[in-house]
A and B are shown apart, each in its own frame.
Chain A
Amino acid sequence: MEENTAAIIASGDLELYVSGSLDPQEALRIESLIENNPHIKAHIDLLESHLLEFSAQYKKTPVKSLKANIERQVKRIERLAKFSWASIVLAVVVFLMTSLYVFKETKRMRTQQSIVNDQIKELTTDFDQKLEDLRNQFIVLQSPQTEKKEHESQYNEVSFNFSSYLNKEKRLGFLQFDNLPKLPESMCFQIWVSRNGVKENIGILSKIDKQQLIQIPFKEKGTIHITIEEKPGNPNPDPKASIVNIPIG
């Protein structure tokens, strides 16, 4: 060990290390020796002291303004570094906020687009349905094969009138009410059709529109019924409670 230490000291590498003249790989080797060998560490300390003294013999006073110049330049560097960091942080924050805004806006617009698409679809379907209804009404009302009947019925001793239009050839049927007796708020007139024991709900009559024609499905033989039910209607109405019975088909 001592022999090895002496050889390392004699090699001149430590002087080169202290002077910073070794290549990085060699410098790492010496640093490892310094850490592990106290004799080498002591020798390096000695060399560093000598280097300081050796360098000190050449000391010379620089111009007085140099210190202020250096301090000014360092202050400028620090200001720039702080500004750079602030710029980076600001850029990141702006980017994140913009991304978040764009993300939220895209999501909102997609939702809105979906709603608008649904509305357009509903409107189209509704429009098609209304157009079909109008076409059917026109066919039924203009056709000589259509059988028109006037009906009169009573509820609580109040009579009410309505018309039925049935076209067996076209398998189309409509009801048109002139008036209806007044019901309590919680009750309603329900129209439904029974065919071979199967009940098909047509809907409830909330108010009377004389121009309105209520379309009745007319595929097979059956009976149109009107009952008085609690709002919003009865899924299984009783034919015996019917105040109107009109055979169709």
Chain B
Amino acid sequence: MQCEDVARLLPETVDGSGPIDLAVQSHIEACLRCQAELARYRRMLRALQQLRTRYLEPSPTLLAQTLAALEEVGERQAVRSLLSGRRLAYAGAIGGAAVAAAAATTAVLLARSRRRAAALRLAS
């Protein structure tokens, strides 16, 4: 096992998420250079974890812009839902009117045909 081999493995073994090969472990225990390299990776990971609580300050307008964008989406959804409700109402009204018109036409045609039949009977 050479230092270069260990150096290649350190990035994935440094967080202790997987088992470390015994040969690697023995090499590190005996090699000051690899111990120093491992210590560098550990310091780097520790510092990265600390970065989690280093908050960045957003522009003062970000919150207002985000809430306004949400508001806009909410309004669009409300309008869409209103329109789809109206569309249903329109479709219902048109359907009802068509049925009524068909019924009226049928009644008129029936009445005409009865009048015509009566007139024929009188004539004969």
Q: Answer whether A and B are interacting partners.
A: no
Enumerate chain B interface residues (CB-CB to A < 8 A): none
